[in-house]
Chains A and B, each alone.
Chain A
Amino acid sequence: EAQVTQNPRYLITVTGKKLTVTCSQNMNHEYMSWYRQDPGLGLRQIYYSMNVEVTDKGDVPEGYKVSRKEKRNFPLILESPSPNQTSLYFCASSLGTPGEHNEKLFFGSGTQLSVL
C-alpha cells in the first residue's frame, strides 16, 4: 500500500533532550516535506527536500534539522527541543514539486509532540 509512515505517533519529552521523528515513503517520491500544525495557524512548512541530499528551509525552520540521505527517508531532528515546539507534525511527499504538473502531496498520520 502506498503510504507515508512517520514515527512515533505520540512523543512526550523534556526540554533539551534531542529527538528524531522518522518519515518514510514507499512511492519513490522525489519531494518530501515537514509541516507543523498549531491551533488557528494551519499547516506551516518547516523544511522540504527536492531530492536526495537537497534540502531547503520552509517558513519556520528555526530549531529543526533534516537530512535526506536516501530517497525514501526524511527524518526531522530537534537537537534541543523547547516547549514552543510542542505541536502536531506531519510529513508529506509527492512525486515532484507540489503544483508542478499537478503533483499531489500525500501526508503521513502525524506525530503529536509535547515538550515539557
Chain B
Amino acid sequence: GENVGLHLPTLSVQEGDNSIINCAYSNSASDYFIWYKQESGKGPQFIIDIRSNMDKRQGQRVTVLLNKTVKHLSLQIAATQPGDSAVYFCAENNAGNMLTFGGGTRLMVKP
C-alpha cells in the first residue's frame, strides 16, 4: 500500500534539524485534533493529540500547537531522524462520531 506522493506537499529536512508540519482545519466547532504518521506500506499510527481547550501539548520529541483563531494546527518534530520519514496527517473531530483527515504532508529526511 504505497501512498502516492505526486499530489502530496513535501517537506525535506536535514537529519538532526527540527521539522514543522502544518495543517489548516475547516470547522471552528472541532474540539479534538490528532496527528497520525503513515510509513510506506503501513496504516496510519497515532502520534499525538490535543483538545481545543489547550494550545500546546508535548510528547517525546513531538509538540503539537493549536491556534484556534486561525484554525491552524502544527506538528513540530525535534532532531528529525531518518525513521521520521513518512506521510503525516492531521485529523479533526467535528461531528461527534467521525474524524475528518487532511490530505497529508510527506516528510523526507536527508542523511
Chain A contacts to B: CB under 8 angstroms: 4, 9, 35, 37, 39-45, 48, 50, 56, 58-59, 88, 90, 92, 97-99, 102, 104-112
Contact = CB atoms under 8 A, between A and B. Distances in A.
A98 B30 CA distance: 12
Contacts of A48: 97-98
Which range holds the interface residue count of chain B?
A: 20 to 34
16 contacts: A4-B43, A37-B3, A40-B8, A42-B103, A43-B44, A44-B101, A56-B97, A97-B96, A102-B32, A102-B51, A104-B46, A105-B34, A108-B43, A109-B43, A110-B1, A110-B41
A99 B1 contact: no
B70 interface: no
What secondary structure prevails in chain A residues at the interface with B? strand
A40 to B, nearest CB: 3
